[in-house]
Chains A and B, each alone.
Chain A
Amino acid sequence: MSTPAFPRPLPRVEGDAAPFWKAVAAHRIELPRCTACGTLIFYPRTFCTRCHSREVRWEEISGAGRVYTFSVVHRATHPWFMDKTPYVYAIVELEAGVRLPTMLVGCATEDVSVGMPVEPVFERASDDVVLLHFRPRSA
């Protein structure tokens, strides 16, 4: 088997975002929340993007959410995804109040709609990395 020319794009599990990816690997969603002003911070940083406090606390949040918007991708730009089409790239709005870019799985592309309730799927992408996908949930 030949080595694929372009490896799957994966997040770097390092720096400010490392706790996020480690939590996802353990099938939990955790994000930093500012202890001064209460802002939930995405993408994860170790300071508050609203008030610039350095006091943040990681907390587990619910994966319940809804599709904010989406696109069925028929032609991918990154080579690794080219034979994965069609797939659904989406923004999911969590009840906790953040919107996450994600891939929607577990349903036919024509069944996806804005506002559709979703729940997390933890997708092992490599030995080290688990990705946070979503699938439909019964409301």
Chain B
Amino acid sequence: MTSISDRSRTLRGRAAVVGFAELPPSKQPGDRKPLDLISEVSAQAIADAGLRPQQIDGIVVCPAMMQYSMLWPSIVAEHIGLAPTYLEFVDLGGATSCAMIARAAAAVAEGRCETVLCVNGDTWDPKGMYLKPPPLVSPLRDFTLPYGAAGANGDYAMAARLHMDRYGTTSRQLAKIAADQRTSAQRNPIALFHGQPLTIDDVLASPVICDPLHKYEIVLPCSGAEAVVVTSEDRVKDLPHPPAWVLGFGEALEPDPFQRPDFLVTPTVESARRAFAMAGASPKDVTLAEIYDCYTSAVLIELEDAGFCAKGEGGPFVEAHDLTFAGDFPLNTHGGMLSFGQPGLGGGMTLVVEGVRQVMGRAGDRQVRRNDLAFVHGNGGTFTEECSLLLGRDR
């Protein structure tokens, strides 16, 4: 009997990302709907891949918070004029985008389709969440909302508090993540915080929102859209850009973060283990990381659980490394969502796009020195849904 790891190895390098597009994020809701953004960015990504719409035979979409609808995959396909043989809808919170790429790569490897469009697009209206919230039926919310659970802010703040109490992690260490990412964002003209450098002291001087997290440690939701094109190993060679090979992926879910043995040990341990096993690689082989940064505390804990440092060592790790695009551990090199903005429920797609961009060598003046292997990670819920992805320059 073969193990899951052995079987998953057959998926390694069977598909690659060959094109991408990203619309500038915006804090203005505007009058365009998610479907408008999705159609625009999809056309750009397909063209970037050097393909015609008729060559797209797979589509993977995710929910748009501000245009929530059943039958979304077929609605999107119909709107942009595709007739796919494979349609998929992924709804895993912040793990969504990495999981979209994983499903596209697996579908290609299975021969269900040849070339897959993965697209996220959403608008953001600050009032929208309370005026027109998308349906969310979670019995657990009856046990959190009445006690003042402040969206996800409170949960990630509690994770930071426990990490500080148990391991001596400091606010300065957490703030360095935001500050280093902001340095990289100065090389990204479309980042929401381009032109606004930020020091560790600036982070610590910003208002405390949910103690111990400050304003600049918390992601800013926005409007935006991103798309990537995944295709088979056979088609890669005919296309204009160097591929970003999908070498490994893994996902894991562990419900109710507060009942599991340790709140600070997340399913990232399992999602990353699976991704590395598929790729036949280890954390020390990774040359850049794009890690879901809804909060600084999320990055810290995901770094530990993915195996880049030991549990509890996240604080000293981020202190010891230059996390900017030019540094020795390039992390969230387009500014991360903390400096770029977080477009929509599938917001992690901007991290996927940046990982692809770097691996393809198309990141311009924020190109990292070594782009061999990117670890891209999505985290949904409160460290409940996790998906890890490994993208490589060479197969």
Q: Interface on A for B, CB 8 Å cutoff? A: 6, 8-12, 15-17, 42-43, 68-79, 81, 84, 86-87, 89-91, 98-103, 109, 113-115, 125, 129, 131, 133
Contacts and interface: CB of A to CB of B under 8 A. Distances in A.
B145 A9 contact: yes
Name the residue in A10, A69, A76, A84 with the highest tally of chain B Cβ atoms < 10 Å from its Cβ.
A69
Contacts of B145: 9, 78
Q: Please give me the 4 A-B residue pairs with the lowest Cβ-Cβ distance, nearest first.
A: A71-B157, A11-B142, A69-B162, A72-B211
Given A11-B143, A43-B139, 6 more contacts: A43-B143, A77-B153, A89-B147, A89-B210, A103-B148, A133-B147
Contacts of A87: 148
Interface string B149-167: 1110110011101100110
Contacts of B213: 71
Contacts of A42: 143, 259
Contacts of A81: 148, 150
Nearest to A15: B139
Interface residues of B, number: 33
A78 to B, nearest CB: 7
27 contacts: A9-B145, A17-B142, A43-B139, A43-B143, A68-B162, A68-B263, A69-B263, A71-B213, A72-B210, A73-B154, A74-B207, A74-B209, A75-B150, A75-B153, A75-B209, A77-B151, A78-B148, A78-B149, A78-B150, A90-B158, A91-B263, A99-B258, A100-B143, A101-B143, A102-B147, A113-B165, A129-B146
B106 to A, nearest CB: 29
Contacts of B151: 77
Contact of A73 (B159, B210, B263): B210
Interface in B121-173: 130, 139-140, 142-151, 153-154, 157-159, 161-162, 165-166
Contacts of B161: 69-71, 114
A75 B207 contact: yes
A113 B166 CA distance: 12
Contact of A74 (B142, B143, B144, B208): B208
B144 to A, nearest CB: 5
Contact of A70 (B144, B158, B259): B158
Interface of B: 130, 139-140, 142-151, 153-154, 157-159, 161-162, 165-166, 207-213, 256, 258-259, 263
A118 to B, nearest CB: 13
B174 to A, nearest CB: 14
B146 A10 contact: yes
Contacts of A99: 258-259
B130 A71 contact: no
Contact of A76 (B148, B165, B166, B208): B148
Contacts of A43: 139-140, 142-143, 256
A87 B212 CA distance: 13
Contacts of A101: 143-144, 147, 149, 258
Given A68-B263, A75-B150, A17 B139 contact: yes
A131 to B, nearest CB: 5
A12 B142 contact: yes
Contacts of A74: 207-211
Contacts of B165: 69, 113-115
Nearest to B144: A101
Nearest to B210: A71
A9 B146 contact: yes
A11 B207 CA distance: 31
Contact of A16 (B139, B148, B154, B210): B139
A5 to B, nearest CB: 9
Contacts of B212: 71
Contacts of B162: 68-69, 114
Given A43-B140, A68-B263, A89-B154, A131 B146 contact: yes
